[in-house]
Chains A and B, each alone.
Chain A
Amino acid sequence: MRLELLSILNVERAARRACVLVTDIKSGEQRLVKGAEIAADPLAEQLDSALRMAKSATIEVAGRQVFLTVQVPPVRIVAIGAVHITQALAPMARLAGFDLTIIDPRTAFATPERFPDCALIAEWPQNVLPDFAPDRYTAIACFTHDPKIDDPALEAALSAECFYVGALGSRKTHGKRVERLKEKGFSELQIARIRAPIGLDIGAVSPQEIAVSVLSEIILALRKKPLRDSGAAA
């Protein structure tokens, strides 16, 4: 591997950008394809699929063995609201391998006692999210039910390329939310990216079950739908 390629690979990873190193095993020939360049690549379909599954793999191209070193940033979940559902979601997300951050400005909710060993930020989302820089490997799920807290996070999520945006609330609550976001200038296409009511419809009742349905919906969005498309819809 050329040192130059290795350097770019490391820069891309540090910047949380996906890329694929394509190696012809026999000739040793190598090239690096950045996430943004994949659509225009001759191997677009294979690269896209490898990226979505986040799996390195050997493929055959015109009778030649080609190895794809897939580099995908760790997926982050941002939960807005240090509520009961989030308490259940935290250990589940950890087990499933996601990097979870919980944001809630209400210090009575956001306590280390309620959320042991969690990345917990007792701040308003609009103060935290700019530095956090949500990207296409970030999911944002809003659970507070309070527009003062949820809306700024949703606005940040819709302005970024988050692969998943979800908000708790009934259809009626969501209807009002849609109106508020429209007034803020968000398009219908953007607003349609919000999954509401949140979670896969598995008939979840308890907070723990709702956490399962939300985590499942996040995994579905991550694996089944090309990330590129969710970006294009932004």
Chain B
Amino acid sequence: MLAADDDILARAEDWRKAGKGVAIATVTETWGSAPRPVGSHLVIDDEGHFLGSVSGGCVEGEVVTEAMDVIADGKARTLEFGVQDETAWRAGLSCGGRIRVYVEKVV
């Protein structure tokens, strides 16, 4: 977990220093069998590029969309997802889990 997160936060810093708008999403709480542990990061730039993972794939799309709003208005927000729909099941992820994700802008 930590080794993988290395590059992610370093990349967020690089992106911001290169003048891009950047948001960091962090898993702050999980219930049930959530696929990624608390503390996992996803970093997003203002063009929708992203790196890392908060769920193993099934909610990243929504987090990226929300992150674009966070970059635009600068307001941090907390998102909650149930990782239990059919799509998640098909992707082979654990069912029944829920995660809470904190999305903040790098300023």
A-chain residues with CB within 8 Å of residue B107 when the two chains form the complex: 1-3
Hey, which chain A residues are within 8 Å of B29, CB to CB? Answer: 58
Q: Is there a chain B Cβ closer than 8 Å to A25's Cβ?
A: yes
Please determine whether A3 and B28 come into contact, CB atoms closer than 8 angstroms: no
A-B pairs, 10 with minimum CB distance:
A56-B39, A28-B76, A67-B28, A56-B38, A6-B13, A58-B28, A10-B10, A58-B29, A3-B16, A1-B106
> Given contacts A6-B13, A58-B29, could you give 17 more A-B pairs where the C-beta distance is less than 8 Å?
A1-B104, A1-B107, A6-B16, A6-B106, A13-B6, A25-B102, A55-B37, A55-B38, A56-B26, A56-B39, A57-B38, A57-B39, A58-B28, A58-B38, A58-B100, A69-B26, A74-B3
Which residues of chain A are near B26, meaning CB under 8 Å?
56, 67, 69
- Across the two chains, which residue of chain B brings its CB closest to A27? B76
Contact of B9 among A2, A10, A54 (CB under 8 A): A10
Chain B 65-107 interface mask (CB, 8 Å, partner A; 1/0): 0000000000010100000000000000000000010101111
Q: State the majority secondary structure of interface residues on A.
A: mixed
Interface SS, B side: mixed
Q: Which residues of B contact A (CB under 8 A)?
A: 2-3, 6, 9-10, 12-13, 16-17, 24, 26, 28-29, 37-39, 76, 78, 100, 102, 104-107
CA distance A45 to B17 in the complex (A): 35
Q: What chain A residues lie within 8 Å of B12 (beta carbons)?
A: 6
A73 contacts the other chain (Cβ, under 8 Å)? Answer: yes
Some 25 contacts from A to B, beta carbons below 8 A apart, are A1-B105, A1-B106, A1-B107, A6-B12, A6-B13, A6-B16, A7-B13, A10-B10, A13-B9, A23-B102, A25-B102, A54-B2, A56-B39, A57-B38, A57-B39, A58-B28, A58-B29, A58-B100, A67-B28, A69-B26, A70-B39, A71-B2, A72-B2, A73-B2, A74-B3
